[in-house]
Amino acid sequence: MEDYNKIIESLGVRFIKAKNLVLQQPFTVRNYYDVGNNLILLHKGSIFFGDEEHMVEEGELLFIPGGRSTKVTFGPSGEGKSITNDDLITNREKFFRSNNDLDLIGDAEESHSYVSFEAKVFDSVNFFASLDLPAFLISNNTKLANLVIKVVEESMQELPGKERLINLYTEQVVVEIVRHILKNRMFVEQLATNSTYFKDPRLIDLFNYIKENLGGDLSNKVLSNVANVSEDYVGQYFKMLTGINPQDYIEYQRMERAVFLLRTTKKSIREIGKEVGYKDTAYFCRRFKMMFGIPAGKMRRRESATNI
Q: Does residue 222 sit within a domain?
A: yes
Q: Are residues 163 and 260 in the same domain?
A: no
Same domain for 76 and 37: yes
**195 lies in some domain:** no
Task: Work out how many domains the chain is built from and give that number.
Answer: 2
Per-residue pLDDT of the chain (308 residues; tens, 9 = 90+): 556 677 777 788 999 999 999 999 999 999 998 888 999 999 999 999 999 999 999 999 999 998 888 999 999 987 889 999 888 988 889 999 999 999 999 999 999 999 999 998 766 677 888 777 889 999 999 999 999 999 999 999 999 999 999 999 999 999 999 999 888 887 666 666 666 666 678 888 898 899 899 999 999 999 999 999 999 999 998 888 777 789 988 998 899 899 889 888 889 999 999 999 999 999 999 999 888 778 888 877 655 444 44
Same domain flag for 210 and 278: yes
With 0-12 / 13-18 / 19 or more C-beta atoms within 10 angstroms meaning exposed / middle / buried, residue 203 is buried
Which CATH number do you get for residue 174? 2.60.120
Structural domain span for residue 26: 1-184
Q: What is the pLDDT of residue 191?
A: 64
pLDDT of residue 195: 62
Question: What pLDDT is attached to residue 79?
Answer: 84
pLDDT tens profile 191-211: 666 666 666 788 888 988 998
Q: Do 273 and 147 share a structural domain?
A: no
Residue 178 belongs to a domain: yes
Query: In whole angstroms, how far apart are CA 46 and each of 23, 42, 85, 152, 219?
Result: 10, 8, 19, 20, 48
Same domain, yes or no: 178 and 253: no
Q: Identify whether residues 107 and 218 lie together within a single domain.
A: no
Residue 214 and residue 153 share a domain: no
Strand (E) or helix (H) holding 177: helix 162-183
Residues 164 and 273 in one domain: no
Give the pLDDT confidence score for residue 305 in this predicted structure: 47
The answer to whether residues 15 and 158 belong to one domain is yes
First-to-final CA distance of the chain:
43
Mark whether 31 and 170 lie in a shared domain: yes
Q: What is the largest CA-CA distance in the chain?
A: 61
Give just the sign of the alpha carbon dihedral 143, 191, 246, 197: positive
Question: Are both 109 and 31 inside the same structural domain?
Answer: yes
- Domain termination site, one of 158, 184, 210: 184
Domain end, chosen from 184, 217, 249, is at: 184
Domain check: are 129 and 25 in the same one? yes
pTM over 0.85: no
CATH of the domain at 263: 1.10.10.60
The answer to whether residue 96 sits within a structural domain is yes
Q: In what order do the strands lie in the sheet with 27-32?
A: 54-56, 47-49, 70-74, 27-32, 81-83
Residue 293 pLDDT: 77
